[in-house]
Chains A and B, each alone.
Chain A
């Protein structure tokens, strides 16, 4: 059974190749026999090729955060329906990472825009942030008017091909 995941946005496929004598997992083309243990739900210990990887993890609603070797990794898993690799429709939509207010719109529906062009300015957590076009296109939708609040995940702008 293969698992399509993304580590810090990099797509990877993991698979279980064997359970005995050691649990053997592949990640991409590489194969890793390993020993896994967990003393507490948030702690893990994994041995690979004689090296011990000891760390912490925490599952949010959307992803798993893993702390290992002084670094935090964000892992998207299939069960969370993570956004990675979705492509197509999602690439056309610019969504809010957090709740906020639209301060001003710098374009209108039907405008042709180029990659990196400022579409609108929002304010979240007391900071003003410019939302830019991820690629060239035509503004198909600007669903949130200026001085209007929005929730996390709301579509702030949508593009369609020129």
Chain B
């Protein structure tokens, strides 16, 4: 097994990886930008190395500084987490050339799966269903014609993209040209690659993904599916496993497709194959993420596995310890992403300072966080603050526990989506498991806050006013005669 691992990340995922390292007796090295010097991942690590950069994200993306940090600390391997350099083939190559183990797939496989167009072609070649599409090979004008020929509705995406950035839905011919131009310019800005492609949009689709583990020699097992259909701005909000109301036969077929894709690619590491599923049971390959996913905990909980441990075992050359027949789902797990944002303002990201933090506890509840009281939430990083995960013998119990945990969570000082998540848990359509990616838009009104009882509002007013000197003076410190005068002298 590895002895020392550098975690080239921050926040909750850096803490998450370190927890497993600690349990397995592997020393951990944190890297951090000055702005994160008091962050939990720095405090948790056995060793730490500061990275410099004009802006904080640049520091975490600086390959040479990370290689130097490995050399300085003697770390034998790098765990990239998710985001940052996790799907950067150049980084995987650079690390490997420096004699360090990259905890992830080979650079060629990252390149293959990192390109939406090439990966789709690869999937189609190996018999995995893909949606009708058109790719940009020449000018944007030619592409507009090809895209229109597929028929509407259409989804326009960045070829090099992810996370919904540069993605547009087009329902009419007259909206096509402008949307393609905007998508191309966004793609250029985000990914330095302005190529876009278009595919037939499946209306009211479900997002079903399959967790896999591969040893790099063509041996692959799947760890069943996750449903991540509850999304906003094309980003996941609620994830769960198993997917509710998914027929076993269809589920097995989707999982087998994922295994076939990864076996063909000789995939090494934990990875996720994403599919969209239509209402008639038709499913299409969406993309593959060649890293640990944000939502991996729901799989861990229903299978009783530690995916970071499996990653470390594969990276250290121990191969696949699991047989497909040994892997069984047990119970139901749900995860919500706690983000600094304003749901009532179209989920705009928010900033502030974590003033008060009380993390929920209780049976079947797990908080994967990377924040602490006093920490600033700045625009420098992603808006996700933590993940809240629940488990139950069945879906209803897991929902009930998550609802209770959300209610118990106190995170003040920065606007968050916590109460919005509570309202999703209380939504009858969600409880029925009738999910699709347009759920939040469709349920719009019913996900708005309920009216507040008058006495509760009075308590809120007093709780806020009592921190002011004026109110304190009038309510508690004023000599009695003046106070009683105060009541009527206005």
Q: How far apart sit A128 and B188, CA to CA, in the bound complex (Å)? A: 14
Query: What is the count of residue pairs linking A and B with beta-carbon distances less than 8 angstroms?
Result: 175
Point out the residue from B416, B465, B470 that lies within 8 Å of A72, measured CB to CB: B416
Query: Most chain-A CB neighbours within 10 Å: which of B413, B458, B484?
Result: B458
Does B2 have its Cβ within 8 Å of any Cβ on chain A? Answer: no
Enumerate chain B residues within 8 angstroms of A18, measured Cβ to Cβ. Answer: 484, 487
Q: Is A86 an interface residue (CB 8 A)?
A: no
Over the window 51-64 of chain A, the binary record of Cβ atoms lying under 8 Å from chain B Cβ atoms (1 yes, 0 no) is 10101111110001
CA distance A126 to B464 in the complex (A): 33
Map CB proximity to A onto B399-429 as digits: 1 under 8 Å, 0 otherwise: 0000000111010110110110010000000
Interchain CB contact under 8 A, B458 and A77? no
The reply to whether A71 and B449 contact each other, CB–CB distance below 8 Å, is yes
Docked-complex contact A127 and B349, CB < 8 angstroms: yes
Q: How far is the CB of A133 from chain B (nearest CB, A)?
A: 15
Query: Contact: A60 with B355, CB < 8 Å?
Result: yes
Chain A residues positioned under 8 Å from B471 (CB to CB): 3, 16
Contact A19 B483 (CB under 8 A): yes
Residues of A within 8 A of B355 (CB): 42, 58-60, 65
Residues of B within 8 A of A3 (CB): 465, 468, 470-471
B446 at the interface (CB under 8 A from A): no
Chain B residues with CB under 8 A of A64: 463-464, 467
Is the C-beta of A48 less than 8 angstroms from some C-beta in chain B?
Answer: yes
> Is A107 an interface residue, CB under 8 A from the partner?
no
Sample 5 A-B pairs with CB under 8 A, ordered by A number.
A44-B463, A53-B463, A74-B415, A75-B461, A127-B233
Q: Mark B467-490, 1 if CB is under 8 A from A, else 0.
A: 111110011101010011011001
Q: Mark B105-118, 1 if CB is under 8 A from A, else 0.
A: 00000000000000
A66 to B460, CA, bound (A): 6
- CB contacts (< 8 Å) of B475 on chain A: these are 16, 19, 23, 25, 36
Q: Is B353 close to A, CB under 8 A?
A: yes
Are B186 and A53 neighbours in the complex by a CB distance under 8 Å?
no
Q: Is the CB of A27 within 8 A of B457?
A: yes
- Give 16 A-B pairs besides A7-B460, A98-B379 with Cβ atoms closer than 8 angstroms: A1-B474, A1-B490, A3-B471, A5-B465, A7-B452, A14-B465, A15-B490, A19-B484, A25-B462, A27-B454, A34-B462, A46-B463, A64-B463, A65-B413, A66-B464, A124-B379
Q: Is the CB of B456 within 8 A of A16?
A: no
A77 touches B379 (CB 8 A): no
Cross-chain contact B458 with A25 (CB below 8 angstroms):
yes
Closest-CB distance, B307 to chain A (whole angstroms): 26
| Residues of chain B lying within 8 A (CB to CB) of residue A127 | 233, 348-349
Q: Are A71 and B419 in contact (CB under 8 A)?
A: yes
In this complex, what residue of B is CB-closest to A49?
Answer: B455
For chain B, residues 369 to 412, give those with C-beta under 8 angstroms from any C-beta of chain A. 379, 382-383, 406-408, 410, 412
Q: Which of A75, A78, A125 contacts B383 (CB 8 A)?
A: A125
CB distance from A80 to the nearest CB of B (A): 9
**B350 → A minimal CB distance (Å):** 7
- The 8 Å CB contact of A73, one of B382, B460, B467, B484, is B460
Once the chains bind, are B419 and A1 in contact (CB under 8 Å)? no
Chain A residue contacts of B467, Cβ below 8 A: 41, 57, 59, 64
The CA-CA distance from A158 to B253 in the complex, in Å, is 56
Minimal Cβ-Cβ distance residue in A for B164: A127
Give the residues in chain A near B97, CB-CB below 8 Å.
none
Chain B residues 421-439 with CB under 8 Å of chain A are 422
Residue total for A at the interface (Cβ-Cβ under 8 A):
63
Interface residues of A in 86-144 (CB under 8 A from B): 97-100, 103, 124-129
In whole Å, how far is B447's beta carbon from the nearest beta carbon of chain A? 14
Q: Are A125 and B379 in contact (CB under 8 A)?
A: yes
Interface pairs A-B: 10 shortest CB-CB: A70-B407, A58-B355, A75-B464, A53-B459, A125-B349, A58-B412, A64-B464, A65-B412, A125-B379, A46-B459
What chain B residues lie within 8 Å of A79 (beta carbons)?
468-470
Chain B residues whose C-beta falls within 8 Å of the C-beta of A15 in the assembled complex: 490
Residue B165 CB within 8 A of the other chain: yes
Q: Is the CB of B165 within 8 A of A46?
A: no
Nearest-CB residue, chain A, relative to B190? A126
How many Å lie between the Cα of A126 and that of B189 in the bound state?
Answer: 10
**A130–B188 CA distance with the chains assembled, in angstroms:** 19
Asked if A145 is an interface residue, CB under 8 A from chain B, the answer is no
* Contact, CB under 8 Å: A67 / B455: no
- Cβ contacts A1-33/B at 8 Å (1 or 0 each): 111010110001011111110010101001010
Residues in chain B near residue A38, CB distance under 8 A:
466
Once the chains bind, are B379 and A60 in contact (CB under 8 Å)? no
Q: Does B352 contact A (CB under 8 A)?
A: yes
Tell me whether A57 and B462 are in contact (CB under 8 A).
Answer: no
Please state if A128 and B462 are interface contacts (CB–CB under 8 Å). no
Q: Are the CB atoms of B346 and A5 closer together than 8 Å?
A: no
CB of B68 within 8 Å of the partner chain? no
A17 to B487, CA, bound (A): 5
Query: A19 to B413, alpha carbons, bound, how many Å?
Result: 31
Contact of A58 among B356, B462, B480 (CB under 8 A): B356
Distance in angstroms between the alpha carbons of A36 and B463 in the assembled complex: 9
B165-A126 in contact (CB<8A) = yes
Selected contact of B486 from candidates A1, A14, A41, A152, CB within 8 Å: A1
- Please, how many angstroms separate the alpha-carbon atoms of A23 and B350 in the complex? 37
Within 8 A of A (CB), among B160-209: 165, 186, 189-190
Asked if A25 and B346 make an inter-chain contact with CB atoms under 8 angstroms apart, the answer reads: no
In the assembled complex, B351 has its CB within 8 A of some CB on chain A: yes
The reply to whether A75 and B460 form a contact with Cβ atoms under 8 Å apart is yes
CB pair A56 B186 closer than 8 Å = no
Residues in A whose Cβ lies below 8 Å from that of B460:
7, 66, 68, 73, 75
